[in-house]
Amino acid sequence: MTLCPLWRPPPPCPPGPPAQGDAEYEPAGRGGGRGGGPVVDILSVEAPSRVALPLIRTIQTTTRIIWQTPVSIPPTAKGVQQKYFVPLKGYDYLFTHPQPCSLVVASVNEKERHGQQAPAPKSKDAKCLDLCGCKVYSSAGLQLRIANQQALLSRYNFNSWNSMLKFKELVPPKSREEFAALAEEGKTVAQTSLQASLDAADSAAHTLSSGITVRRIFWLQASGLPPELQQTLQDLPFDGACLFSEKTNSRLQSLKDSRAITKSLGMHTPATQRKPFKPQQP
């Protein structure tokens, strides 16, 4: 779709500093917990301390500038998309918007456009919601890529400070304790930064889900399905490819009152014709 196209990655550039072990980023939890991996295994299982850090002036200024035109401003700043990227293969959902699909979409297109494929329902409100959902999705995808890079660089930073300890014996005896303390402090800062990147990735994933939800809602509302069924379908898993997963069609086809559902979708099925009654001959 063309409402809010996502950035396509440039040709590969020289790789950044390698992280120890597998560089695959697995967003979630603290070390050893849900979704843990070799990049995040340096994190403590203890809850992080709460530290109120000041909001720097640059961020405050940028935020206020963006707020001046909250509707017309693009979802991401020009040029930022090119700074953070991941391989296209296997991560298509970060570069393209999920396409509308399923019986729900087909039925709405049938009602409004006589079968013509369209990116959004016909109403103006639906088109506005679709554009809003696309903007949210684009912004969240970029946030996820930024968080991924922050996680890898934080782990690299930790490894660098950890490697410094092997030079401890080369430092004059009177400075060794201070040198070791400096290295440990650097490792702690890197661990804190890594946890912050995981929290940012978690927030970005939630925002991606919000973008998907917004776009699903107006398709379901236009379908005419019962409200209870709409709520069920809008919360089915997202597979990263299509707006509605294959489970949507499976759920519709498995409902007991299938004739009522197909009628709501505008897909009428002919009633079973009975043979005419023939009285038996005496």
Has residue 95 got a pLDDT over 90? no
CB-based contacts of 116: which residues, under 8 Å, 6+ apart? 109
* Displacement of CA 28 from its chain's centroid (Å): 13
Has residue 193 got a pLDDT over 60? yes
At residue 163, the pLDDT reads 95
pLDDT band with cut points at 50, 70 and 90 for residue 279: low
Tell me the per-residue pLDDT of 112-133, one tens digit each, with 9 for 90 and over. Answer: 875 667 778 888 888 888 899 9
User: What rounded mean pLDDT belongs to the chain?
Assistant: 80
For residue 129, count other CB atoms closer than 10 A to its CB: 19
Kindly state the average pLDDT of the residues 89-99. Answer: 89
Buried b (16+ CB within 10 A) or exposed e, 25-60: bbbebbbeeeebbebbebbeeeeeeeeeeeeeeeee
Q: What pTM does this model have? A: 0.75
User: Angle CA(273)–CA(275)–CA(277) in degrees, nearest 5?
Assistant: 135
Reference 224, options 137, 108, 116, 64; nearest CA is 108
Has residue 222 got a pLDDT over 80? yes
Tokens of 103: 């019986």
Tell me the per-residue pLDDT of 224-256, one tens digit each, with 9 for 90 and over. Answer: 889 999 999 999 999 988 999 888 988 888 875
Tokens of 207: 């925002």
Has residue 6 got a pLDDT over 70? no
